[in-house]
Amino acid sequence: MNKVKKQLIVAAVLVAGFAAAFGSYLLLSPDDRGGGGLDVQPAAQAMPVRESSHRLTEPKKSELTIVEFLDFECEACGAMYPIVEKLRAEYGDRVTFVARYFPMPGHRNGELAARTAEAAARQGKFEEMYNKLFTTQKEWGESQEWKEDVFRGYAKQLGLNMQRFDADLADPEVAGRVQDDQRDGLGLGVQGTPTFFVDGTQIRTLGSYEAFKALIDDRLSG
C-alpha cells in the first residue's frame, strides 16, 4: 500500500470518528430549551427488552417479540402508531409487542411525554396513556411550549389519582426509568425513532402495514 493510500485511509477513519462523535453529541447533549435531550451513556449490557419493559401484548405462547424504541413527539412514530395498532390487533395472540422510550433532542415535550406515560404506568395505565399521547400528538407535538398542563389533562381523563400522578411525574426514579430505556437503545445502536427490533435484531423500519405484515408472516412461518 503506497503512502497516498495510507493517508487517505487515515483521513477517512478520522472523518468517520468525528461524524460518530458529533452524532453522539447531538443525540446525548441536553436540549438548551429545557426538554428533549437526555445526558445519558449507553448501557454496558444493552438489551432490546427487559423484564421491566412495557408489553402491549402478552400472548400465552409468544412466537415473536417486536420492540419499538419510540418518541411520543416523533411524527414518524405517530405515523407508525396505527400500523402497529393494526398489527397488534391481528397478531397479539402470537406476538409480544413492546414499547420503549427514546425521546429525541429537539422535541420540547418528548421526554415529558415519556415521563407522563411512565407515571401513568405506575397506576396501571401505561397502554391507555400510550394510546392517548399518540392519538393526540397533532394537538401538542412540535410545540415550543411546555405541555405539562395538557398531559395532566390527559391523566385526569384517564381517571388517574392526580396527587400521585404529579408526584410520580416529578420523581427522579421515573426520569431514570426513561433514561434506562434510552441507555439500552444507545447501546444497541439506536440513532433515531422509530427503531424496531424483531427477536433482538434491528430491522429497517417498514413504512407500511403490508410490508410489516409480510415480515411477521415470514418469521412466524419459519
Tens of pLDDT along 78-90?
Answer: 999 999 999 999 9
Residue with cell 395472540: 93
Mean pLDDT of 58-86: 98
**Mean pLDDT in residue range 119-148:** 96
Residue 139 region, left (φ>0) first, then alpha (ψ -120 to 50), else beta? alpha
Q: Which helix (H) or strand (E) holds 214?
A: helix 209-221
Q: What is the pLDDT of residue 15?
A: 34
pLDDT at 8: 38
Largest CA distance in the chain: 71
What pLDDT, in 10s, does the model give residues 135-182? 999 999 988 899 999 999 999 999 999 999 999 999 999 999 999 999
CATH of 31-221 among 3.30.360.10, 3.20.20.70, 3.40.30.10, 1.20.120.140: 3.40.30.10
Q: Let me know if 169 is exposed, middle or buried by CB neighbors in 10 A (0-12, 13-18, 19+).
A: buried
Mean pLDDT of 96-106: 96
Q: Is the pLDDT of residue 120 over 70?
A: yes
Report, as an integer, the average pLDDT of 74-101: 98
> How high is the mean pLDDT of the chain?
87
- Determine the pLDDT at residue 43: 86
Beta strands in 43-200 (DSSP E): 54-55, 64-70, 95-101, 195-198
Instruction: Among 11-15, 111-115, 179-183, name the one with the lowest average pLDDT.
Output: 11-15
Q: What local confidence, expressed as pLDDT, does residue 171 receive?
A: 98
Q: Are strands 95-101 and 195-198 parallel, antiparallel or unpaired?
A: unpaired
Helix pair angle (110-121, 172-187), 10° resolution = 110
Q: What is residue 106's predicted lDDT score, i.e. its pLDDT?
A: 87
The secondary structure of residue 66, as a DSSP letter, is: E
Cis peptide before 172 (omega within 30 of 0): no
Residue 6 binned pLDDT confidence (cut-offs 50, 70, 90): very low
